[in-house]
Amino acid sequence: MTAYIVVSTNGQVLTPAKLGTAKVNATGCNVGIYVAPNTKGVLISGLIITGATDHGIFVQDASSATIAHNTVTGNGVAKTAGIAEDKAIELVGTSDSIVSDNTVTFNFADGGIGIADDGAIDPGAPLSSGSTPIASTANTVSGNYVKDNAAGCGIVVAAYNAGGGVGNNLVEDNTVIGNSVLDSAIKGFVGGIVVAADTPDTSVWSNTVKDNVVNGSLIPGIVIHSNAPGDAVKSTEIIDNTLTYNGVETTNSFEPHMPAAIMVVSEIPHGGATITGTDIRANYANNNVYSVWYCNTSPSITSQQGPVQNIGVCQATQPPPTSVPQFPLGAFGLVAVLATGFVLLALMRRRMLLSSVRSSV
């Protein structure tokens, strides 16, 4: 992948004063600004990043980066195949970093802002740069305005690598807007906030989603998802969010087929993929059918706010498996094929609704 600006020096500052211009026109490059592995303390602030075929900003295996007060718009104009999380701003394998007070609008590849781990699967690139899993931990995504980003979700915190994972991340005080039912002239802006384990044996722990406004998403406003065998999503907090005019998931009977403010679903019942310790508290829901929908898990739901307080529960009737197939530790090829399959399955689940919308245009 090519980048208009590559940052590889600790403490490097990218501002209009340092660059001599506020505009980063990345036309012809895959990435507007790329922060390279092992880089610490980078500041990217006050810039307008546009024109990249994929990410406006891509931070890989770095720490203590600050991305603040930027406008990231008009990127993802020619999406590269094979990138699982082709967000306008994407952090992989990155910790102790801040993404705050940015305006992220009209990006076309895969939604708005993403936090993911890194490893044998690099969610931010078509090919992996290494096999050692690197978690993304203790990052803060706050105060961002994320609106009208196509083909993917507004904010995503997701795990793709066994032994890596995403944990102790905070998604707070963001405004995330997708297609409102009142604004159907423009279609395909998904919106929503997602916390997910996407491939086998991945871990997601102690993430907090609070004080966000999520309006008009094509999917449920906030989604907690455990998608593949051996996945574990633990101790997620969903607190004091305002959720209106949100959408549905319709890929199977575990998911709500009517609009839901919050969805918490394990796609593999009977302990195949787990979601435990979810705290859903003091959220305001309006213009949805369900305030919370859950399946194959039992979240704590307290102090519901707003006119919609209906809780939906799926009818999970599948019998438990009689046996679990075992694979030898050396069967790397088989594991890789399975992992790739679950990446594609997770992406298909997120995008089925978008595809149906496009077909109707």
* pLDDT tens digits, 10-39: 999 999 999 999 999 999 999 999 999 999
Query: Are 304 and 285 a contacting pair, CB within 8 Å?
Result: yes
Question: Is 310 inside a domain boundary?
Answer: yes
The residue with tokens 């998604």 is: 171
What's the pLDDT at 187?
Answer: 53
What's the pLDDT at 179?
Answer: 66
* pLDDT tens digits, 68-116: 999 999 999 999 999 999 999 999 999 999 999 999 999 999 999 999 9
CATH number of the domain where residue 242 is located = 2.160.20
Token reading at 330: 């050396």
Question: Is 279 inside a domain boundary?
Answer: yes
Question: Is 321 inside a domain boundary?
Answer: no
Query: Are 2 and 52 a contacting pair, CB within 8 Å?
Result: no
Does residue 331 have a pLDDT over 60?
no
Token reading at 183: 């604004």
Question: Is 77 inside a domain boundary?
Answer: yes
Question: Is 230 inside a domain boundary?
Answer: yes
DSSP code for 259: -
* pLDDT tens digits, 241-299: 999 999 998 888 899 999 999 999 999 998 999 999 999 999 999 999 999 999 999 99
**Rounded mean pLDDT, 187-197:** 88
Does residue 234 have a pLDDT over 80?
yes
Lowest mean pLDDT among 128-142, 171-185, 257-271, 285-299: 171-185
| Residue 37 structural domain | 3-316+326-359
What's the pLDDT at 338?
Answer: 47
Query: Are 272 and 254 a contacting pair, CB within 8 Å?
Result: no
**Rounded mean pLDDT, 318-344:** 43
Taking the whole predicted model, whether its pTM rises above 0.85 is answered as yes
Question: Is 239 inside a domain boundary?
Answer: yes
Does residue 64 have a pLDDT over 70?
yes
Query: Are 47 and 19 a contacting pair, CB within 8 Å?
Result: yes
What band does 130 get if pLDDT is binned at 50, 70 and 90? confident
Q: What percent of the chain lies above the pLDDT cut of 70?
A: 84
**Rounded mean pLDDT, 191-195:** 97
350 φ, ψ to 5°? -70, -25
Question: Which runs of consecutive H residues, i.e. helices, occur in the chain?
Answer: 16-19, 332-359
What's the pLDDT at 356?
Answer: 40
Identity at 101, one-letter amino acid code: D
Tally of structural domains, the chain: 1
What band does 332 get if pLDDT is binned at 50, 70 and 90? very low
